[in-house]
Amino acid sequence: MVAATDPVVLGGAGVMAVATMGGACLARWRPGRQELWFGAAAGALLVIAGFHLLPDAWADARSAGLWPGTVVAAAVISFTVAGAAGRLGCSCEEDQHRLNGTGAAAALAAHRFLEGSALALAGSVTVAAALAAHALGEGLAVGALLAARPRRTLAPWLAVMCLGPLAGAVITSAWPLPAAAGPVLLGVAAGILAQAAQISLGVAFRRLDRVAAVLASPSAAALAASAAVTAVAVHFVG
């Protein structure tokens, strides 16, 4: 583990912040293409949740001597609670999308804290670069989910996400997290992001009623491209 003031940690956190802002700005570009951006968000969220957070949480749980099923249970419970909150707390479809976007932003902000912890633990330029590429997909996801909201609403979440890695590195350097806490938190985040991905898919393809039309749509292409880019980043993070 390296200190939070190490150049690799500071530089990595800075590049991650820039990449996050870049992804969010890309999502807000031409906001009228809502279905397109939600398709891209769904691709990034599905890969982050299913191919990054859950496998990492499973492996970390085994290393920490924690029953891996706890991670799955945490993901399922958080997925269910996030969905119930959207149905019970919102009076219309638009409100549900907004709440879903806020939940996804909160989950990703918590995830960024853990990424900062990983950066401090690894102290590697390669890890920092991979996390920066990964941050682009996360920024894209949040920017798309909150694209319909005012800039003043999006800005605080982006600020939290940008500062999260540095906060995680500082706190990890000073007070390391219990070994069992990280996997459970990752499982919770994965469940929330999976729920966000489900809602995003519904928005991306809501105007299409045939499988052929879905597969040939720009939203499907955006989903595939976003998933591929995020998967490459996840591969190097892993």
**Average pLDDT per consecutive 10 residues, the chain (238 residues; last block may be shorter):** 79 90 79 72 85 88 91 91 62 50 74 80 71 77 71 81 89 79 85 80 80 86 89 74
* Residue 168 located in a structural domain: yes
* Residue 227 located in a structural domain: yes
* Residue 115 located in a structural domain: yes
Number of domains in the chain: 1
Report the interhelical angle of 181-204 vs 93-122 (nearest 10°): 140
pLDDT of residue 75: 92
Beta carbons within 8 Å of 21's beta carbon, 6+ residues apart: 139, 158, 162
* Residue 134 located in a structural domain: yes
What is the Cα–Cα distance from 43 to 47, expressed in whole angstroms? Answer: 6
* Residue 133 located in a structural domain: yes
Domain that holds residue 37: 7-237
pLDDT of residue 181: 83
* Residue 2 located in a structural domain: no
Whether 168 and 117 have beta carbons less than 8 Å apart is answered as: yes
* Residue 197 located in a structural domain: yes
Beta carbons within 8 Å of 55's beta carbon, 6+ residues apart: 238
